Structure 1
């Protein structure tokens, strides 16, 4: 059986002149994932020249943002070329927690109410310092951010192709004009 990989971060903009980059986290345990010497498989747009693997040389937290440095990326120009690249690790390096979900496990699932009424579809997962948020494309064409906590998302059923969203009144209307 092949080992699956999961996205642990997406590279953002360069930081400074020495090749460090900011990352958008897709893991709840960055301190254990970002250990110098760790080699990540990369996913990047074809033709960008991003190596298939990047080996971490440095990792530090700076003003609530993780900054990573990689072998072979010595300067800001090289770091800029990594923007948008996804960093993946094999399943075997991830925790086997029952409540741990990866973005690729959630995207495409139907969002329904506890009564089974269609709300929309999960189109993303935003990780945050306090809690993660599901990004839903609602049936009316708008998007909503839903705190990914058990009180609001009591059931995640990938085999059934759905997540149950028990949103308090008004949550799905936040950010709408009108």
Structure 2
């Protein structure tokens, strides 16, 4: 059975002096992906990092890694993405479930079908997921809910927005 790489987090700012760091969680399963002793893969070179501690601090995930001994070492990793390997059998099987990597880069069409931009990032906010859409160099945030994004065509490489004024342009 083959495995797929998925983004599970992004390294944030250091916490304390012992090499602890905040993680911007990018997975729906942080309790499954961030476990003491687990190995995650760092950045483009996929450097292996073993988790030595995992805890929550005021609603934010804080971890430490073996071979990243102090604040200075962990500060050098700020902004790097963390990846995990997921067996294909664990990939989303429901029609409305997507990995971020499937959505980022999709062309964004308005309700008429005209191409207006591209998905730049998926933000996982407490209330719901939000798409950051690049529209001619300007960011627009659109809640990722069926009422606003009724069509997602991964194979076709696009998603289409509902006819809602102000999603992609300012309204006076």
TM-score bin, normalised by smaller chain: 0.7 to 0.9
What is aligned with 1:28?
Answer: 28
Q: Distance in 1 between matches of 2:129 and 2:138?
A: 19
Give, in angstroms, the shift of residue 36 of structure 1.
Answer: 0.8
What is aligned with 2:160?
Answer: 164
Return the TM-score normalized by structure 1. Answer: 0.84
Unmatched segments (≥5 aa) in structure 1? none
Q: Between 164-173 and 54-63, report the one with greater CA deviation.
A: 164-173
What is aligned with 2:118?
Answer: 121
Unmatched segments (≥5 aa) in structure 2? none
SS at match of 1:40: strand
Report the RMSD for the aligned CA atoms in angstroms: 2.3
Runs of at least 4 residues of structure 1 off by over 3 A? none
Q: Distance in 2 between matches of 1:28 and 1:152?
A: 21
Match of 1:80 among 71, 75, 78: 75
What is aligned with 1:43?
Answer: 43
Name the one with the larger strand percent.
Answer: 2
Query: In structure 2, do the counterparts of structure 1 residues 129 and 95 end up closer, same or farther at CA, with 3 Å as the change threshold?
Result: farther
Return the TM-score normalized by structure 2. Answer: 0.87
Number of residue pairs aligned between Structure 1 and Structure 2: 170
SS at match of 2:87: helix
